[in-house]
Every structure is written in structure tokens, then in C-alpha cells.
Amino acid sequence: MNWILNEESIDLKKEQVVELNRSLGLWSALALVIGTIIGSGVFVRQAAVLDQTGSVKVALFAWLAGGIMTLAAGLTIAEVASQMPKTGGLYYYMEKMYGRIWGFLSGWMQIIVYGPAMIATIAAYLGILIVDFFGINPAFKIPIAVISITLLAILNFFSNRYGAMFAIITTVCKLVPVLAIIALGLFFGKEQSLVQSINGIQTSTGSFGVAILGTLFAYDGWILVANLGDEIKNPARRLPQAIIWGIVIVTFAYVFVSFGVFQSIGAAKVHQLGIGAIPYLASKSFGVYGGRLLSIGVIISIVGCLNGKVMTFPRIMYAMADNRELPFSKQLSYLHPKSRTPIWSVVTIVGIAIIMIVFFDADRLSELCIFTVYCFYLMAFFGSFKLRRQNLDRVFSVPLYPLPQLVAIGSSIFVLVSEIQNDLIGVMLSLMIVLVGVPVYWKYRNQRSIVDNKVVQER
């Protein structure tokens, strides 16, 4: 009798286990990739890249080169993701390829500084855009930023389907002005842009490298969809598809938007106007209302990018807490029984972001983490060779192996060297942020060992 009761209680506990909701399809994943990459960069960086390169043709090549490098990285991670499509993305990959401490440190850096700082930076810029658009007192830009990410956090308390649907809607909306600018340049542009250059700007290989570096940062964010591995249907197949097609679409968008702008108003005007080039183009081509509509498109683009980050970064914290590697792991790994989302991880990530908005320079904090982010990228790219030797089952294999891996490794080394040359103090601070995680790891590693032992016993 007792044996029967024990069996029934075990079955009841199993029934009460709450797991992440595997409800996201290819379109949701693809929208998150595109929406998380495209923020404001495509609308404001044409002049900066042009000024570094000196000519339209070379500027377009810089955008294309950045896209190719990003695609090589995406192909490499797509192969890795097809072999281990689990929640946490890079955190999980690093752990499985190099050991628990490396997984922990990559996750630690993302949840403590990089993720919240990225959210804070984008929200702060959104606050500025809304204040300018509606003519509100600039003192309200910080409250608007805080309210914006708070509302997105509340949205992500509900089922992941709502966040994914919001990503799809905002992605479609942000592609409308992108397609309009492309069409304007292709069919109505009268400038002979491909032969234009800017006199008086000294260009060199170094400045061309800086231009490519700027485009690489504009492409960043594509890997975040991997954090949702346990929430995507057939993730071994869908994750690679979403990552690859998302990067390809964004690359075309970036290159052709730049061409559309140059073809419509010319290189000299773009150089003169700077970040105001596209608003000028919209007003010139579509009137005052066109400029206003473009501003709305940029705001929607920022909101969609922000939503993608609010949705994906807390999954890293959840995965680490689920492994009992963090303080308050029980709370941070809690999934709401109805929405099946990690609401306390969302609250914590957004809470850190709000603190950064109010008290710190969030943009500088996000810059500090670039070096260590690319260190972990580089390790993951090398790790793909290790996985090949292990002959694990994989749905997707990188074409032209090992060329994409080598391009991804080369581009990461390029970023790391550039960071060391341009911001050595920032690099050192970035490494210190990671090292702070070491004592945290040692403090909680015993709890992780207990979890691992329970898993082994259950098997």
C-alpha cells in the first residue's frame, strides 16, 4: 500500500513540473533574429561608414563585408546549435565544449552587465526619440525609457507567443521604411552614387577596418535567438534556418538601404547631414509627413529590438539558475505555471537595466563587454572543430567547411585586436567583470554538483 502511494506521489510531482513552452515556429525565430539585429543602425550609420571609407563603393563593400563576416559566424554557430539546441545559447555551448566554469563565466558576463546594459542603452535612445518626436520636455527621457522596458517586461510575463507575435509585428513594421528607401533609390534615385567619393577625407586600410568594425556591431544580436532553444519547435532544424536567413535578410537590407540613400541624395549630402541623412531623404521625397512616418518607423524598430533583448537575455539567467549556479536560484528558475515563462529572471534583468539607466552610463557599460563577448565567440568558433571530431549527430553542417569557421575566427580576432588598440582600459575592465564571476562560481559550484547528482540518479 505504501509502495502504491509513493508511486502515485512521484507521478503527481512529475505532472506538476513546469517546463518552458515549446511553441515558437520558424517565423517567430526569424522575426526575433531580424528584429534583434535591426535597431537604429541601419537608419543612422551611412554617414559614419562613408566618412571612414571615403567613397560610396567602398562604403557599400564595408557593409557587405560585415554581413559576410557575420554570416560566417552565424553558419558556425548554426552548426553548433543544431547539435545542442538548449536554453541559454552561448552559455550552454561553452559549458558543453569547455567545461562548467567557462559556461558560467560567459553567462555571468551576459546577465550581469552586457545584457542589461544593452537593454538600458536601447531604452535610453528610445526615450530620446520619443521626447524629440512628441516635443516633450527632455527631462522625461529617462522615465520614458524606464516605462518602456517595464511594459515590455510585463508583456514577457505572458506566454512566449505574445512576445514572439510582437516581434513579428514590429519586424514587419520596421521593414516597411527599409523597403521604401530601397525602392526610392533603385527606381527614382538620380545620383550616380557608385562613382562618388568625398574630397578632403583621408582614408586608409585602418579607417576601412574601423568602418567594417562599425558594421559588425550593427549586425550584432543574431545569436540571442539561440537562448530560446527549448522554446522553439524542432530547434535543431529551425535555429540554423532562422539564424542564417535572418543574417542574409539583414545584410541585403543594410547594403541596399545604404545604396538607396546614396543614390537618392548623393555622397556629399550624406556626409554633410550625418545622422540626419535619412530624415532629410524622407522629408525631401515624401514631404513633412514622410519624415514623421520614418521617425515612427525608427521608434518601432527600436521597440522591436528592445523586445527581442528583454525576451532572450533572461533565458540565460533562467538556465544558470536552473542549474543552481546563482544566488536565489530557486526564485530565478521559477516558471509561472500558466505562462511557463521565467518571470523573476525577466524582473531581475530589467531591474538591473533600470538601475543602469538611472545611475550609470549604460552605453559605456555595453561597450566594455564587447571584448569579452568576442572572446567567447572565438572560443565557440574553435569549439565547432572540437564538435566535428566528436562526430555528434547534427541536422545542419556548415557548407564549404572549414572556410566559414576560419572567416568567423578571423573576424573575431580582428575585433579583439581593434578593441585592444582602441580601448585598452575598457578591455581590462571587461576582463575584470568576468573575473568577478569566478568566486561566485566557486561559491555555488557545490549546489550545481548536487543537481547533477540528482539528474544522474533519476536516470
> Could you tell me if residue 174 is inside a domain?
yes
> Could you tell me if residue 456 is inside a domain?
no
Residue 162: C-alpha distances to residues 21, 69, 242, 422 (Å): 12, 32, 19, 41
pLDDT band at 456, cuts 50/70/90? very low
Ranked by mean pLDDT, the top range of 64-68, 124-128, 454-458 is: 64-68
> Could you tell me if residue 81 is inside a domain?
yes
> Could you tell me if residue 223 is inside a domain?
yes
> Could you tell me if residue 5 is inside a domain?
no
The letter for the amino acid at 250 is V
pLDDT (tens digit per residue) in 249-272:
999 999 999 988 888 888 888 888
Please tell me the number of Cα atoms within 13 Å of 19 on its side-chain side.
Answer: 11
pLDDT (tens digit per residue) in 170-219:
999 988 888 888 888 888 767 776 656 665 444 444 578 888 888 888 89
Q: Please give the residue that has the higher pLDDT: either 283 or 55.
A: 55
Query: What is the CA 410 to chain-centroid distance, rounded?
Result: 20
The answer, yes or no, to whether residue 129 has pLDDT greater than 50, is yes
> Could you tell me if residue 243 is inside a domain?
yes
User: Residue 197 has what pLDDT?
Assistant: 64
pLDDT (tens digit per residue) in 361-420:
888 888 888 999 999 999 999 999 999 988 777 889 999 999 999 999 999 999 999 999
Which own/partner pairs from 205-209 qualify as long-range (CB within 8 Å, at least 24 positions apart)?
207/52, 207/53, 207/54, 208/52, 208/53, 208/58, 208/62, 209/414, 209/418
The answer, yes or no, to whether residue 73 has pLDDT greater than 50, is yes
What torsion do the CA atoms of 303, 305, 308, 310 make, to the nearest 10 degrees?
Answer: -60
> Could you tell me if residue 8 is inside a domain?
no
The answer, yes or no, to whether residue 276 has pLDDT greater than 60, is yes
CA–CA separation, 400 vs 452, rounded Å? 38
CA–CA separation, 8 vs 161, rounded Å? 33
What is the domain extent for residue 162?
24-392+399-451
Average pLDDT, the chain: 87
Residue 452: C-alpha distances to residues 101, 322, 388, 457 (Å): 15, 11, 26, 9
The answer, yes or no, to whether residue 11 has pLDDT greater than 50, is no
Q: Please give the residue that has the higher pLDDT: either 9 or 294.
A: 294
Peptide bond into 279 cis (omega under 30): no
Overall average pLDDT of the 155-173 stretch: 93
> Could you tell me if residue 19 is inside a domain?
no
Share of the chain above pLDDT 70, in %: 90
CA–CA separation, 275 vs 281, rounded Å? 11
* CATH classification of the domain holding 153: 1.20.1740.10
Q: Please give the residue that has the higher pLDDT: either 455 or 438.
A: 438
Q: Please give the residue that has the higher pLDDT: either 374 or 449.
A: 374
pLDDT band at 16, cuts 50/70/90? low
DSSP code of 274? G
The answer, yes or no, to whether residue 1 has pLDDT greater than 70, is no
Cell numbers that stand for 79 in this block: 552548426
Tell me the whole-structure pTM to 2 decimals.
0.90
Residues recorded for the chain: 459
Q: How many domains does the chain have?
A: 1
Q: Look at phi and psi of residue 25 and say left if phi exceeds 0, alpha if psi is from -120 to 50, else beta.
A: beta
